[in-house]
Amino acid sequence: MKRLVITGLALLLAHWAADAQILKFGARVGLNTGVYDFEQVPIEGGSVVPVSDRCGGYQVGALMRLTIPHFIYIQPELDVQLRDLAFGIRQEGQPMEYKNTRVVRLELPVMVGFNILAAHFFAGPVWHISTRQYNRGAGKTPFELRFDDNDVAAMVGAAIDFEGIFMEVRYMRYMRQTEVEMRVRSESAMVDVAHDDMLQISFGVLF
């Protein structure tokens, strides 16, 4: 009898949760653009300069949305962010050597938001789990970047939902000034990044 009551309560709770749609899963994909700017860095008998302070890329992610109660929700995510950065290596008596670097980051955002009809507004921290870089530029000079995976960013955003399909805009900025280690051949230097922020536009689905 006890098992029957427990089973009945569990089924009733599961039915209520499904009916109330308090737990949803989803995915999103979109484009990003931002600013990544630093001062000229003397290194290896020359210097590294930013070719352009604007950068772009795209992101994909999976999310889980837990609504408690119906108009407040917590949304943890697992995102992969790709961002293309451009650098120039300037050495005396030689033409500028360009390096295009694709940075791939695995991130864990945790958003807290609320609903007003079909509109959503949210904010929360973003933790970086790991970072990889892939040099895509021409030239023979070895060039490497090493990012700090302990950086934490803050994110705010807004979205519109329509029958499980959503469009959103997000803005991300770091909680403190970020750093990157630049290595040219055998010499390296720590660089303070003056501006490091990002605007994301994404489309997604919830089910």
Angle at 39 between CA 108 and CA 200, to 5 degrees: 30
The pLDDT tens digits for 125-163 are 999 888 988 876 666 788 888 888 888 999 999 999 998
Amino acid identity, position 114: F
Q: Where are the domains of the chain?
A: 21-206
What pLDDT score does 12 carry? 47
CATH number for the domain running over 21-206: 2.40.160.20
Q: Which residues of the chain have pLDDT under 50?
A: 2, 5-6, 9, 12-13
What pLDDT score does 29 carry? 98
Question: The whole model's pTM is what?
Answer: 0.84
The closest of 60, 62, 63, 54 to 30, measured between CA atoms, is 60
